[in-house]
Amino acid sequence: MSKQKRIALVTGASRGLGKNMAINLAKKGINVVFTYQSKKEDAMETAKEIEKYGCQAAFLQLDVQDINSFELFFGNLRTCLKDNFQTDKIDYLVNNAGIGAYATFAETTEDQFDSMFNIHIKGAYFLSQSAIKTMNDHGSIVNISSGLTRFCTQGYAAYAAAKGAVEVLTKYQASELGSRGIRVNVVAPGPIETDFGGGVVRDNKDLNQVISSQTALGRVGLPDDIGSVVAFLCTDESKWINAQRIEVSGGYYL
Ligand code: NAP
């Protein structure tokens, strides 16, 4: 009898980094349940890519800001796991979904602040809290932060502060979940070419060049630079890596 493949839940995998993480997980032989917020057609494309690697894919709608919807979401997840994967548990969680907000510290509105903290920390906090009830022991959680917690690019105070909280949460999660053999790490990407921030890193040629010149490896990041690291952190190859912040930026702003 063939061994049951492990299952990862990845938030925000309709596009960008999450999509690439999902594909890299499939390359490692891991089935993927992922979420989209608004772009269902893009989610269908992600699913097709996953299936190319001989893994199963399923996707569910989720707004990580909407904590009140989590009970319904996990009900839908359990049904999805039973119907598609003949199990009631996941093995890995990747808290990736997120957006940026550009405003200086002096000009940040309360709405912008709340949106950053609700999406990046409150959402990830309570989603993980529910997810661990549906997670096998000896699994792994990967949180996604940002290089902006180490260096400052003006205009990202609220975003970076929320990501800083994600990094602290990672250590507490690792400390408290270690008894179940669940490892928790945080990946902090540098600037990557995705739709993030209106796609500015990818589409603004001048900015792209400036970032490249400030990066030791001489270019900006691409989604595959991140997805492969996240997938690695969800395998036994990284079995002794725990509670770590891993910056994946090609050596930005050294
Ligand atoms: P992206 O290309 O804009 O994709 C964002 C993804 O998150 C999409 O799948 C989107 O779903 C989903 N999403 C957005 N808001 C959501 C919400 N409220 N609830 C649930 N899902 C939501 O961005 P990305 O570059 O892949 O960013 C992914 C993560 O990496 C974020 O946490 C970001 O902070 C972090 N990051 C990015 C960079 C970078 O330079 N790109 C650098 C450092 C860290 P829909 O498409 O369905 O709407």
Per-residue pLDDT tens digits for 7-16: 999 999 999 9
Residue 38 near ligand 1, beta carbon < 6 Å = yes
pLDDT-derived band at 37 (thresholds 50, 70, 90) equals very high
Q: What is the CATH number of the domain that holds 155?
A: 3.40.50.720
Cβ–Cβ < 8 Å for 104, 157? yes
Residue 124 near ligand 1, beta carbon < 6 Å = no
Per-residue pLDDT tens digits for 177-207: 999 999 999 999 999 999 999 999 999 999 9
| 253 within domain boundaries | no
Instruction: Please report the pLDDT score of residue 2 as a whole number.
Output: 56
Q: Is 141 exposed, middle or buried (0-12, 13-18, 19+ CB in 10 A)?
A: buried
Out of 34, 118, 196, 200, mutate this one to test ligand 1's pocket (max ligand atoms within 8 Å of CB): namely 196
| 151 within domain boundaries | yes
Cβ–Cβ < 8 Å for 182, 218? no
Those residues whose C-beta lies under 8 Å from the C-beta of residue 219, and which sit 6 or more positions away, are 212, 250
Amino acid symbol at 22? A
Beta strands in the chain (DSSP E): 7-10, 31-36, 57-61, 90-95, 135-144, 183-189, 245-248
Out of 23, 32, 95, 99, mutate this one to test ligand 1's pocket (max ligand atoms within 8 Å of CB): namely 99
| 216 within domain boundaries | yes
CA 98, CA 77: separation in Å to the nearest integer? Answer: 20
State the maximum Cα–Cα separation within the chain, in Å, rounded to a whole number. 61
Instruction: Please report the pLDDT score of residue 171 as a whole number.
Output: 98
| 254 within domain boundaries | no
Instruction: Please report the pLDDT score of residue 3 as a whole number.
Output: 74
Going by alpha carbons, the residue nearest to atom 34 of ligand 1 is: 98
| 222 within domain boundaries | yes
Query: Is 36 annotated in the active site?
Result: no
Residue 223 near ligand 1, beta carbon < 6 Å = no
From the CA of 3, how far away is ligand 1's center (Å)? Answer: 33
Query: Is the model's pLDDT at 1 over the cut of 80?
Result: no
Domain holding 204, by residue range, is 7-248
Predicted TM-score of the model (pTM):
0.98
| 195 within domain boundaries | yes
Instruction: Please report the pLDDT score of residue 139 as a whole number.
Output: 96
Residue 146 near ligand 1, beta carbon < 6 Å = yes
Query: Is the model's pLDDT at 36 over the cut of 90?
Result: yes
Residue 20 near ligand 1, beta carbon < 6 Å = no
What one-character-per-residue DSSP string does 38-82 give? S-HHHHHHHHHHHHHTT--EEEEE--TT-GGGHHHHHHHHHHHII
Residue 65 near ligand 1, beta carbon < 6 Å = yes
CA 140, CA 191: separation in Å to the nearest integer? Answer: 25
Report the domain count for the chain. Answer: 1
Active-site annotation holder among 102, 159, 172, 253:
159
| 201 within domain boundaries | yes
| 2 within domain boundaries | no
Query: Is the model's pLDDT at 106 over the cut of 60?
Result: yes
